[in-house]
Amino acid sequence: MTHSSLGITLLGSTGSIGCSTLDVLARHPERFHVVALTGFSQLDVLFGQCCRFKPLFAVVGGAASAQILRARVLDAGLATEVLHGEAALEMVASLPETHAVMAAIVGAAGLRPAMAAARAGKRVMLANKESLVVAGALFMQAVRESGAALLPVDSEHNAIFQSLPAGFDGDMAAAGVEKLVLTASGGPFRQMAAADLAHVTPAQACAHPNWSMGRKISVDSATLMNKGLELIEAHWLFNMPAADIEVVVHPQSVIHSMVRYRDGSVIAQLGAPDMRTPIAYALSWPERINAGVERLDFLKLGALTFEAPCLARFPCLGLAYQALASGGDATCVLNAANEVAVAAFLAGKLSFNGIAHEVEAALAALDLSASTSIDGLMARDAETRRFVEARMRL
Ligand code: NAD
Ligand code: MG
């Protein structure tokens, strides 16, 4: 570790984004060091990461897991302090030793620790899009008030960030921006007939054609809810109305998203579908570092194609537009209902099409008026989970 080495906290280090982040960090040992790692239940993976990266802190979900990991860490002669629970996640997200926080916990569970990083004025590298879907207004307010740097890791938003003018200050009109264009792979069922969608399995849904990701976001990609969550994420990150955010299906996942300017120019960011590119950019911005990513070979690629998303077969995208237009807590309800429904689908207890039905039912039945605090939003989240769980027991 050199004097100028930057301390990094990784929330969700055992997941897909977490492991890709460690891969990039390991390529630059002179530039970064790991301050804290967090996982939930994959203790073997977390222990291996502790041995390799020697963090000051490791955080797990429960007390029993903490006890097991603590014993192994001691046994291995490591100085890592093992903690558990949400307060510990918030603590390691705001440590003075930490310069930047990778927010890569999946779902609304990632909100409070990501908020803690934002409030502490860290560089927040945001993979956890659900934070903005649940609490966009409060999250962006915390970023503004603390002076935190918010760097999008989601590949689409990272692409848009890269396609905006250098030194962009948030004023889209002044920058001549007309629209944002989110690209979508279309997922594994892009060409499947509506009748067949009723019978798809979790294994089929998780077999994404271009990206290797965690199971929840893989299902979200298959239903197009992922693009809906990204629409809401883009709205908050870039302060753009939904009407100025287009979604276009681009099955090759080479163009990661685009910005349309008023002179007719379209600026796009291209690259191999590998999350290490946006992760590296979030880590090193405004500089660029090696990410270990394969280079694009245009001659091998051949054609890049585009088509419209099918809202009839994939109603989740339409529900996300609807929730964003409703405002208030609608996007919090959308997210919580989706999380419960996706977990049920992955457990074999709900059909693929049932996911959209549950989200639609929650949006129709629940109070969507705006909460003014994170506690209020978490209460709405819990109420939504109870509602959908009760419906699925019928
Ligand atoms: P994953 O399931 O592979 O990993 C999730 C991580 O969160 C794990 O480290 C797990 O231990 C931790 N975790 C899960 N539940 C937790 C809880 N209740 N409390 C604390 N920690 C918990 O997920 P992923 O694919 O790495 O995705 C992480 C986030 O990044 C998601 O919000 C996803 O939408 C976003 N994202 C992922 C990708 C991708 O390519 N994987 C791309 C863009 C955005
Ligand atoms: Mg994405």
Residue nearest to atom 39 of ligand 1 (CA): 213
Q: Evaluate: CB of 339 within 6 angstroms of ligand 1.
A: no
* Rounded Cα gap, residues 394 and 64, in angstroms: 34
Token digits of residue 201: 């399995």
Residue whose entry in the numeric block shows the structure tokens 């499947």: 192
Q: Sort strands 177-184 and 149-152 into parallel, antiparallel or unpaired.
A: unpaired
pTM for the whole structure? 0.98
Single-letter amino acid, residue 179? K
The Cβ-side half-sphere exposure at 43, using a 13 Å CA radius, reads 17
Q: What is the CA radius of gyration of the chain?
A: 20
Residue nearest to atom 42 of ligand 1 (CA): 154
CATH code 3.40.50.300 for 172-272+303-393: no
Q: Is 294 helix (H, G, I), strand (E, B) or coil?
A: coil
> Which residues make up the CATH 1.10.1740.10 domain(s) of the chain?
172-272+303-393
Residue nearest to atom 2 of ligand 1 (CA): 214
Give the CA distances from residue 281 to residues 110, 136, 201, 276, in Å, rounded to whole numbers and listed in that order: 21, 23, 35, 8
Q: Evaluate: CB of 39 within 6 angstroms of ligand 1.
A: yes
> Which residues are CB-contacts of 217 (< 8 A; sequence separation ≥ 6)?
16, 106, 226
Token digits of residue 220: 């979200």
Question: CATH: 1.10.10.10, 3.40.50.620, 3.40.50.720, 3.90.1150.10. Which one for 6-152?
Answer: 3.40.50.720
pLDDT at 262: 98
Q: Is the dihedral of CA 97, 103, 109, 113 positive or negative?
A: positive
pLDDT at 2: 47
> Which residues are CB-contacts of 373 (< 8 A; sequence separation ≥ 6)?
138
Query: Which of 14, 22, 42, 105 to mutate to test ligand 1, by most ligand atoms within 8 A of the CB atom?
Result: 105
- Indicate which atom in ligand 1 lies nearest the CA of residue 89: 20
* Ligand 2 centroid, distance to 95 Cα (angstroms): 28
Q: Evaluate: CB of 213 within 6 angstroms of ligand 1.
A: yes
Query: Which of 210, 213, 335 to mutate to test ligand 1, by most ligand atoms within 8 A of the CB atom?
Result: 213
The dihedral over CA atoms of 100, 103, 109, 111, expressed in degrees to the nearest 10, equals: 70
Q: Is the distance from CB of 113 to CB of 86 less than 8 angstroms? A: yes
* Ligand 1 centroid, distance to 14 Cα (angstroms): 8
Q: Evaluate: CB of 60 within 6 angstroms of ligand 1.
A: no
pLDDT at 4: 84
Single-letter amino acid, residue 372? T
- The residue length of the chain stands at 394
The dihedral over CA atoms of 186, 192, 196, 201, expressed in degrees to the nearest 10, equals: -50
Say whether the peptide bond before residue 251 is cis (omega within 30 degrees of 0). Answer: no
Q: Evaluate: CB of 113 within 6 angstroms of ligand 1.
A: no
> Which residues are CB-contacts of 193 (< 8 A; sequence separation ≥ 6)?
none
Q: Evaluate: CB of 322 within 6 angstroms of ligand 1.
A: no
Taking the CB of residue 347, how many other CB atoms lie within 10 A of it? 9
Q: Evaluate: CB of 258 within 6 angstroms of ligand 1.
A: no
Short-list 159, 191, 180, CA closest to 239: 180
* Rounded Cα gap, residues 394 and 385, in angstroms: 15
pLDDT at 161: 98
* Rounded Cα gap, residues 125 and 116, in angstroms: 13
**E strands along the chain, which residues?**
6-11, 32-38, 57-60, 81-84, 100-103, 123-126, 149-152, 177-184, 245-249, 255-261, 266-270
- Of the listed ligands, the closest to the CA of 113 is 1
* Rounded Cα gap, residues 274 and 198, in angstroms: 30
Q: Evaluate: CB of 20 within 6 angstroms of ligand 1.
A: no
Q: Is 77 helix (H, G, I), strand (E, B) or coil?
A: coil
> Which residues make up the CATH 3.40.50.720 domain(s) of the chain?
6-152
Q: Which residues in the chain show pLDDT less than 50?
A: 1-2
